[in-house]
Structure 1
Amino acid sequence: GALYCLIEPGDEVLLPLPYWVSYADLVKLAGGVPVPVPSTPDCRPDLARLAAAVTPQTRGLLLNSPCNPTGVVWTREELASAVQIAERHDLWIVSDEIYRRLTYGTVRALSPVQISDAARARTVIVDGASKAYAMTGYRIGFAAGPKNVIDAIGRFHSQMTGSPNAVSQAAYEAGVLHDPPEIPKMTAEFEKRRDLVMRGLAEIGLSAPRPDGAFYAFPNVERYLDARGSMGFCQDLLEAQNLAIVPGSAFGLEGYVRLSYALALPRIEDGLKRLGAFLKTRKPVPAAR
């Protein structure tokens, strides 16, 4: 809804890689042109490339921190640089903050609206109950931003979707008003799982950007890919080990796969063992010098 109300046909929207699987298609559905922007080798935002990607047709920037699929959390400096680019070129910022409360240790996810008043005037936040409140089945979310934009989104959604049901609204309201203690307990558990995943990946010879939020890891498996890419890798893994992961190509970045650690520790350990056993059946390509 935000994209439909912010861009015109042919407008470009910058998408820092990797990005959630729906982003590019959502831009296209709104008549826009998705512009993937390469990240740094460790999947952090490359602000120089982001600035260079702006053209006279660029209208928006879609951010996601913590990021699905990497778990990377943008720093204040990175976010401030992105906001400066948006201000310089008069871009809208759509900030997907669905994982905002799921961060580890002292790391905190910031919103563009915390950077400057100018950013507040050009940012639309999208968020919801699914992740922090573990309410995926309730299908409820919200948008926050300048009043004229939110009014337009409301008119758009009044014709495109039905209202969220009363039970979902009451449940989400209870979560927001009472700030349940389960959230910090949940993030502490996710941090333990993150540490297990990172150790396990290192033991089987894989590396991934360190997730500081959400509940995903995004290891590089480029050495183990054949001509079918990450999709073929995931298909073979499913058939050989009954282990389901998501190809990096779905997130716009080939050579990687996404693992979810929204599982109990024993199941994560089992999954890592299966992945390690599978890698032993693949002939790795020597790393380029």
Structure 2
Amino acid sequence: MSENSGAGTLYIVATPIGNLGDLSPRAKDVLMSVDVIAAEDTRHTSRLLSHFGIKRPLLACHDYNERGRSEQIVRRLQDGESIALVSDAGTPLISDPGYHLVNAVREADLKVVPIPGACAMVAALSVSGMPSDRFFFEGFLPAKGAGRRKRMTELADFPHTWIVYESPHRIVDMLDDMAQELGGDRRLVLARELTKTFETVLSGTVSELQDILAEDENQRRGEFVVLVHGAEKPEILDDGLSEEARRTLGVLVRELPMKQASQIASKLTGVKSKLLYKAGLAMKGD
């Protein structure tokens, strides 16, 4: 596909997540030059534009109207207008509206240009001290407890750093669920109010951070980025078993015939019964 040279451009513009000094000169130039700015919340964006002396028409584009609005924006781009997309804060599409619009614009063979800048998830990862060579961004976990715990269970054994956003009124419940599903000793980083006056980055175990938030209600305020240390890989012993599998097999071997012990241990640990049977024979010979 070749982009339509006579059409306008859709700019995906990152805006500050707190500190207004983080709006890049390029982002400011783009916002001043486009024909219209598509905004998640026009009232919020109008205040940002007013601060920088930018006067451009605004068009609401949010979760509830994005699909219909996309058709209108595509037509305007085809007519040669240039349009900027902004969210309330940070980079559009990152746990914010914009996917359907960008997809529609690209499907129409029109140009989409990124104007990089602030992103809470990336900012938090950069100062967290967590492994950052590989990571997974979950976005928001389910709001209801049962769904949240189910998703945590699915992520519990993920071996790399994973990251979620959380709101102040759910942060305590989320930590309670993490203690239940991941264990109180799993390491976390809570990054709160990034780039704002009361920016705080706390690190510790789930239990330690629960105590901190219980003791200081100020630490429960603001928007959170939560970074979770990946699950530790189980130590594999010389016989090819993890310490947990070997311990489980050892208990069963003392009480049951070898074949039955290895079959039950296989169901409990997921290790092949042949490997467990062989290890069990070695245990008997010790």
If you compute each CA radius of gyration, which structure gives the higher value, 1 or 2? 2
Structure 2 length normalisation: TM-score? 0.32
Structure 1 length normalisation: TM-score? 0.32
